[in-house]
Amino acid sequence: MSIKESHTKLRLFSTESILKMKFIFTCFYSLFFLASMQVHADDISQYRYYQKWQSRPNSQDKGSVYIRTDDPCITVYNKNKDSHKRYCQMEPSQLNLEKSYPTIYPARINFDGANLFFLVAAPWAEQKCKIHLGREEIQCEATGR
Tell me: pLDDT of 96 over 90.
yes
pLDDT (tens digit per residue) in 43-94: 889 999 999 998 777 788 899 999 999 999 999 999 999 999 999 999 888 8
pTM of the entire predicted model? 0.69
Question: Quick count: other Cβ atoms within 10 Å of Cβ 131?
Answer: 21
Q: What is the pLDDT, as a whole number, of residue 128?
A: 96
pLDDT (tens digit per residue) in 12-46: 556 777 777 777 767 566 655 555 544 455 788 99
Q: What is the pLDDT, as a whole number, of residue 108?
A: 96
Dist. CA 130–CA 115, nearest whole Å: 6
Tell me: pLDDT of 7 over 60.
no
The structural domains of the chain, with segments of one domain joined by +, span 3-36, 44-142
Question: When comparing pLDDT for 39 and 119, which is higher?
Answer: 119
